Amino acid sequence: MKNPHREVIVLIGKPGSGKGTQAEPLAKALGIPFVSTGKLMREEIKKGTPLGKSIAADVAAGKLVDNKITALLLKRRLNKPDAKDGIIIDGSPRDLEQALILDRIAHVAHAILISITDHEVIRRISGRRICSRCGRNYHIEANRPKVDNVCDVCGGRIIHRDDDKPKIIKERLKSYREDTIPVLHYYRRLRALRRIDGLGGIKEVGKRALNAILESDKGLKFHEPRNG
Ligand SMILES: [Zn+2]
């Protein structure tokens, strides 16, 4: 994909929508790197830079990392040679302020909304289970252990984390609505919003995301002759 303007693709969706899962294969299909803001932060913490230390302090205090720090990390990442044709970002923008900051450092060509209902979010996340010993993930519908409540790998006890229980999921959905819906309106106004159905298998949803990008790029090319 030709992308001379360092265009950025962002993935937006409720918790459990699968945006994290889709980011990497989508990036591969488009030949551009995939960037997770969470991962950029963890790398910075690991390097022990002053910036990393400040991120670690925020995380330890349970605070959200400052939007300006996220922007700085993304800006640096965008300046690397492999990002010359653009990147796919997972993890940002979560709110309108992040979207506005991102606009100052790059052009968001496509904001892919992976759309699922709240009911589906609760079904997916509340079915998650994890081994209390080795951390292996399970799901009561999609990925059951061979023996109930016992880890296939280490024999440890399988637990249901509080974060994966409906009460906490509903709280996360509430903050999604408050923070992220303004971002969707913003990208809709900019004609960058591409909404796809998030129900279905990983490959199926991935194909929808790719098609949404390619279809709207075709639209852009169609208008090219008028501009010279
Ligand atoms: Zn285990």
pLDDT tens for residues 42-71? 999 999 999 999 999 988 888 888 888 988
The one catalytic residue in 19, 77, 194, 208 is: 19
The one catalytic residue in 94, 124, 129, 208 is: 94
pLDDT for position 178: 95
Q: How far is the CA of 45 from the centre of ligand 1 (A)?
A: 28
Q: How far is the CA of 155 from the centre of ligand 1 (A)?
A: 6
Please say if 19 is a catalytic residue. yes
Residue bearing the bigger pLDDT, 204 or 62: 204
Please say if 128 is a catalytic residue. yes
The one catalytic residue in 42, 75, 172, 207 is: 172
pLDDT for position 59: 87
Q: How far is the CA of 151 from the centre of ligand 1 (A)?
A: 5
Confidence label for 217 from pLDDT (cuts 50, 70 and 90): confident
Q: How far is the CA of 177 from the centre of ligand 1 (A)?
A: 35
Please say if 94 is a catalytic residue. yes
pLDDT for position 135: 95
Are 112 and 212 spatial neighbours (Cβ–Cβ below 8 Å)? yes
Domains and CATH numbers, the chain: 7-117+180-227 (3.40.50.300)
Q: How far is the CA of 147 from the centre of ligand 1 (A)?
A: 12
Residue 6 pLDDT > 80:
no
DSSP state letters, the chain: ---TT-EEEEEEE-TTSSHHHHHHHHHHHHTS-EEEHHHHHHHHHHHT-HHHHHHHHHHHTTPPPPHHHHHHHHHHHHTSGGGTT-EEEES---SHHHHHHHHHHSEEEEEEEEE--HHHHHHHHHTEEEETTT--EEETTTB--SBTTB-TTT-PBEE--GGGSHHHHHHHHHHHHHHHHHHHHHHHHTT-EEEEE--S-HHHHHHHHHHHHHHHHHHHHHHGGGG-
The distance in angstroms from the start CA to the end CA of the chain is 21
pLDDT for position 218: 64
CA 30 to CA 24: how far, in whole Å? 10
For strands 107-115 and 193-197, give the pairing: parallel
Of all residues in the chain, what percent carry a pLDDT higher than 90? Answer: 74
Residue 162 pLDDT > 70:
yes
Q: How far is the CA of 62 from the centre of ligand 1 (A)?
A: 28
12-16 mean pLDDT: 94
Cα angle 91, 12, 73; round to 5? 25
pLDDT tens for residues 60-111? 888 888 888 988 999 999 999 999 888 999 888 989 999 999 998 889 999 9
pLDDT for position 219: 52
